[in-house]
Amino acid sequence: MLEYNTDGTYLRNGPGLWDLGDYGFRHLFDGYATLVRVSFRDGRAVGAHRQIESEAYKAARRHGKVCYREFSEVPKPDSFKSFVGQLASLFSGNSLTDNSNTGVVRLGDGRVLCLTETVKGSIVVNPDTLDTVSKFEYEDKLGGLIHSAHPIVTDTEFWTLIPDLIRPGYVVARMDAGSNERQFVGRMDCRGGPAPGWVHSFPVTENYVVVPEMPLRYCAANLLRAEPTPLYKFQWHLESGSYMHVMCKASGKIVASVEVPPFVTFHFINAYEEKDEEGRVTAIIADCCEHNADTSILDNLRLHNLRAFTGEDVLTDARVGRFRIPLDGSPFGELEAALDPEEHGRGMDMCSINPAHLGKEYRYAYACGARRPCNFPNTLTKIDLVEKTAKNWHEEGAVPSEPYFVARPGAVEEDDGVAISMVSAKDGSGYALVLDAKSFKEIARAKFPYGLPYGLHCCWVPRDK
Ligand SMILES: CC1=C(/C=C/C(C)=C\C=C\C(C)=C\C=C\C=C(C)\C=C\C=O)C(C)(C)CCC1
Ligand SMILES: [Fe+2]
């Protein structure tokens, strides 16, 4: 039973269907979006799940084959004519998927949006019924085929990055809560490479947007290819350099652009403004789940590798990568591990924080870590960035998904609340797990009647909203 009186709905989105008939997909990120809901009310939990009815999913169901270009799976042209048609449709973006299988966010006006990395893959869902409601139509002229799958969402606004694949750079845009119109804030030109670096996510502070430019860069040619390359839609351009840019939210002006050591990250954890004794902002600190600049994490996440654990420790190392971006005009920034990666078993991804600390100095982060040997993150971990220690939860043979922090109503302390995760147990069953965010000990679990697929990202819809 939940003594936390934190009534509300936990939603988790993720790729959940990886086969069409006897055709099996290749990569974790290809799966058709499965939205899972666990509603907590008066100490009880009720679960539900549904597929998101994207055009890509409906077409796949109708034709029994992949009809849109997913992360690694692409339609197989059955004739030269259909190949030419696909080529033409790619330039318009029509053949890219709208399979919104990655994020789920609750906008400031209460609408719930499922997202992927294509702009067209923004889909409004009903958090109670899990119905697919409609496409989220952006009512502006900013365009863009691709955007960050993790917009920054608060009660009042929404920030996103739109990579420009034609003139390598990024557009920073914002939207008011209740609006569908993205507003241009500023543009950041890339400093290296033939294309923008992959921006699956990015961090903000109270006054700044941080735009990461990693050497894992989009590759338009790979977007066109019929067969995936080892780095899918991307190419590794170590020689092009790695950069962190900082834009002022209010003016859209670039206030810093520094070169940093090479990095590979999907998920930024948080960022904040470092201040001196007089309260002047001297630097931006930005934390991310950093994979030691090793792109083989993408290979780790191929379904064959995930389903064939041999007992060998194959999960590549990851850390809390902490950038320090000086605002004094220095040309270089720093990147170091924020704590000893052994504290969390050198596994680090799928993170959350207390949203009240978004963009502000913070102490705790919740993520998936590792107890080795393993081929995928198999623990939940609470990181203390002040003590530089971690508390870990583990169950033999279990695979937990992102631990999502929910504050206790009226909480003052940063870690006063719970962390909710969905766990696939060793015997194939599944359950929702509720950990006390302070002690990181189990409070409750709600067993599902059957196992559910792994999923990616979550959001919380309070009951009274
Ligand atoms: C990347 C592009 C596309 C698709 C992106 C999709 C569908 C999802 C990306 C999800 C990511 C980056 C998830 C990361 C998870 C990390 C884990 C589980 C780490 C574990 C190990 O530590 C499109 C939509 C095909 C468009 C082109 C670009
Ligand atoms: Fe993500």
Q: How far is the CA of 259 from the centre of ligand 1 (A)?
A: 25
Angle at 170 between CA 168 and CA 173, to 5 degrees: 155
Q: What is the mean pLDDT of residues 208-224?
A: 93
> Would the annotation count 27 as a binding residue?
no
Q: Tell me the three state secondary structure of residue 68.
A: coil
Q: Comparing 398 with 91, which gets the higher pLDDT?
A: 398
- The per-residue pLDDT for 191 is 98
Q: Comparing 227 with 401, which gets the higher pLDDT?
A: 401
Q: How far is the CA of 389 from the centre of ligand 2 (A)?
A: 24
265, β-bridge pairs? 290
Per residue in 307-334, pLDDT (tens digit) is 999 999 999 999 999 999 999 999 999 9
Atom of ligand 1 nearest to the CA of 117: 24
Q: What's the mean pLDDT when you consider all of the chain? A: 95
To test the ligand 1 pocket, which listed residue (117, 349, 424) has its Cβ within 8 A of the most ligand atoms? 117
Atom of ligand 1 nearest to the CA of 121: 24
- Distance, in Å, from the CA atom of 329 to the CA atom of 152, rounded to the nearest integer, reads 27
Nearest ligand to the C-alpha of residue 101? 1
Per residue in 44-64, pLDDT (tens digit) is 999 999 999 999 999 999 999
Q: How far is the CA of 160 from the centre of ligand 2 (A)?
A: 14
**Which residues are within 8 A (CB) of 463 and not within 5 positions of it... i.e. 6 or more apart?**
7, 8, 9, 41
Q: How far is the CA of 117 from the centre of ligand 1 (A)?
A: 8
Q: What is the mean pLDDT of residues 392-402?
A: 98
DSSP state of 204: B
- The per-residue pLDDT for 258 is 98
Q: How far is the CA of 200 from the centre of ligand 2 (A)?
A: 6
Nearest ligand to the C-alpha of residue 346? 1
> Would the annotation count 237 as a binding residue?
no
Q: How far is the CA of 104 from the centre of ligand 2 (A)?
A: 10
Strands 389-394 and 379-384: antiparallel
* pTM over the 0.95 mark: yes
Q: What are phi and psi of 419, to 5 degrees?
A: -120, 125
Confidence category of residue 43, pLDDT binned at 50, 70, 90: confident
Q: What is the mean pLDDT of residues 433-458?
A: 97
To test the ligand 1 pocket, which listed residue (12, 25, 29, 217) has its Cβ within 8 A of the most ligand atoms? 29
Which 3-state string (H, E, C) describes 139-197?
Answer: CCCCCCCECCCCCEECCCEEEEEEEECCCCEEEEEEEECCCCCCEEEEEEECCCCCCCE
| C-beta of 73 in contact with ligand 1 (< 6 A) | no
Confidence category of residue 2, pLDDT binned at 50, 70, 90: very low
Cis-peptide into 373, omega within 30 deg: yes
The answer to whether 68 and 96 have CB atoms below 8 angstroms apart is yes
- The per-residue pLDDT for 78 is 76
- As a whole number of Å, the end-to-end CA separation of the chain is 23
pLDDT at 429 over 50: yes
How much is the ipTM here? 0.96
Nearest ligand to the C-alpha of residue 301? 1
- Distance, in Å, from the CA atom of 414 to the CA atom of 412, rounded to the nearest integer, reads 6
Q: What is the mean pLDDT of residues 121-134?
A: 98
Q: How far is the CA of 138 from the centre of ligand 2 (A)?
A: 21
Q: What is the mean pLDDT of residues 119-129?
A: 97
Q: What is the mean pLDDT of residues 392-418?
A: 97
Structure tokens at 16: 């959940």
192 burial type by CB count under 10 A (0-12 exposed, 13-18 middle, 19+ buried): buried
| C-beta of 375 in contact with ligand 1 (< 6 A) | no
Sheet containing strand 132-135, edge to edge, reads 103-106, 112-115, 123-125, 132-135
Q: How far is the CA of 142 from the centre of ligand 2 (A)?
A: 23
| C-beta of 232 in contact with ligand 1 (< 6 A) | no
| C-beta of 18 in contact with ligand 1 (< 6 A) | no
Q: What is the mean pLDDT of residues 166-193?
A: 97
The answer to whether 242 and 258 have CB atoms below 8 angstroms apart is no
Q: Tell me the three state secondary structure of residue 100.
A: coil
> Would the annotation count 200 as a binding residue?
yes
Q: Tell me the three state secondary structure of residue 243.
A: strand
Atom of ligand 1 nearest to the CA of 118: 24
Angle at 158 between CA 152 and CA 164, to 5 degrees: 80
- The per-residue pLDDT for 6 is 66
Nearest ligand to the C-alpha of residue 457? 2
What is the DSSP annotation of 205-238?
-SSEEEEEE-SEEE-HHHHH-SS--TTTTEEE-G
Strands 169-176 and 183-189: antiparallel
Per residue in 257-306, pLDDT (tens digit) is 999 999 999 999 999 999 999 999 999 999 999 999 999 999 999 999 99
The rounded percent of the chain whose pLDDT value lies above 90 is: 91
Which residue minimizes the CA distance to atom 24 of ligand 1? 117
Confidence category of residue 465, pLDDT binned at 50, 70, 90: low
Angle at 188 between CA 185 and CA 192, to 5 degrees: 170
- The per-residue pLDDT for 226 is 73
